[in-house]
Amino acid sequence: MTRTVPRHRTAIVRGALSRPLATALVTTHSTVFDYGCGRGTDLHHLAELSITANGWDPAHRSGSPHIPAQVVNLGFVLNVIEDPGERVATLRDAWNLAQELLIVSARVTWDADGLRGRPAGDGVLTNTGTFQKFFTQHELRDLIQTTLEAPTLPAAPGILYVFRNPSRAQGLLAERMQRRSAPPEPWICEQLFDQHQELLAPLVAFLTQ
Task: Return the SS3 of 52.
Answer: strand
The order of strands in the sheet holding 123-126 is 117-120, 123-126, 131-132
**Domain boundary assignment for the chain:** 15-171
Average pLDDT over residues 57-81: 95
Who's near 89: CB < 8 A, 6+ residues apart? none
Which pLDDT score, from 0 to 100, does residue 199 have? Answer: 84
What pTM was estimated for this model as a whole? 0.76
Q: How far apart are CA 96 and CA 193, in angstroms?
A: 32
Amino acid 201: pLDDT: 80
pLDDT of residue 2: 43
pLDDT tens, 131-177?
999 999 999 999 999 999 998 999 999 999 999 987 776 666 666 65
CATH architecture of 15-171: 3-Layer(aba) Sandwich (3.40)
Residue 112: phi, psi to the nearest 5?
-80, -10
Task: Round to whole Å and give the CA distance between 79 and 10.
Answer: 10
Q: What mean pLDDT, rounded, does the chain reach?
A: 85
Q: Find out whether 163 and 145 touch, Cβ atoms under 8 Å.
A: no
CA-CA distance, 56 to 206, in Å (whole number)? 37
